[in-house]
Structure 1
């Protein structure tokens, strides 16, 4: 489906050590809850000079298409503005994720024209598109 990368990636995308580093490194992990049940999460990081980075957006697959992702993005953007004094936000998305890129574009993100290599080597190699949005 368009909401996951199981057809491209087979390993875990993150681990507890990486999450701990994100929290310690000018970053926030926002969690959507229903009581004690985790519905989804997103990471927002301060990159300085008015720039924030949005990553690790995920929603429980059983709960997708209910607006939780949209709410997490809105919360991340508000956190970037209020906590980091950011006026723009960027994210990276695997370039083959056409439907996901379109979803982000519907939520105000634009292709910057910049690409970056996927952070870990995979075969075949993957490329990340950089998407940006003004939030100030």
Structure 2
């Protein structure tokens, strides 16, 4: 029986050449049948796409953003986006390959994103928005020190770049963590 530890995670900034693989990763983590292998699926809430190459490419080119590529042994396993927004850093586009979810990678990657937000932008606060009916996902972030604000913003119904809603009660709730 082998007791070898999995290879360590490595982090780097995304480049244009990463865009197709990042779009595929994000889609696999949130939409369609492939996403059901993990616990972050939105397949029962939203159909259609989660992101596209144009949107991911814009993030890669944005000087106030960092799209972090997470690899293990040279293989893409996760990504996340941080964006400097004045008095805080926004966190989003967090995706871990569905078959690897639930093994602690997310917690490690989130901590790295928070560290980089403090070091890169001297951020004092991280904010994110989560679909309000995703109670399990919200609870995950609360366990990691994020606070529910009760602040809701409308879901972009009618804009298929964000998906095709399967329910009419979706909104985004803002979560905040002091860094």
The TM-score normalised by the length of structure 2 is: 0.71
Larger RCO of the pair (alpha carbons < 8 Å, separation 6+):
2
Backbone CA RMSD of aligned residues: 1.4
The TM-score normalised by the length of structure 1 is: 0.91
1:39-74 per-position Cα deviation (integer Å, ceiling 9, x unaligned) = 11110110112x000001111110011111111111
1:65-101 per-position Cα deviation (integer Å, ceiling 9, x unaligned) = 1111111111111111111111001000001100110
Structure 1: unaligned runs, 5 residues or longer: none
Larger Rg: 2
Structure 2: unaligned runs, 5 residues or longer: 1-35, 159-164
Deviation at 1:120, TM superposition (A): 4.5
SS in 1 for 2:42: coil
Q: Which has the higher strand share?
A: 1
Tell me: CA distance 1:120–1:76, structure 2 relative to 1, closer, same or farther (3 Å).
Answer: farther
Of 16, 26, 46, 2:84 maps to 46
Give the Cα separation in 1 of the matches to 2:57 and 2:70. Answer: 18
Residue correspondence of structure 1 range 2-81 to structure 2 within 5 A: 2-25=39-62, 26-49=64-87, 51-81=88-118
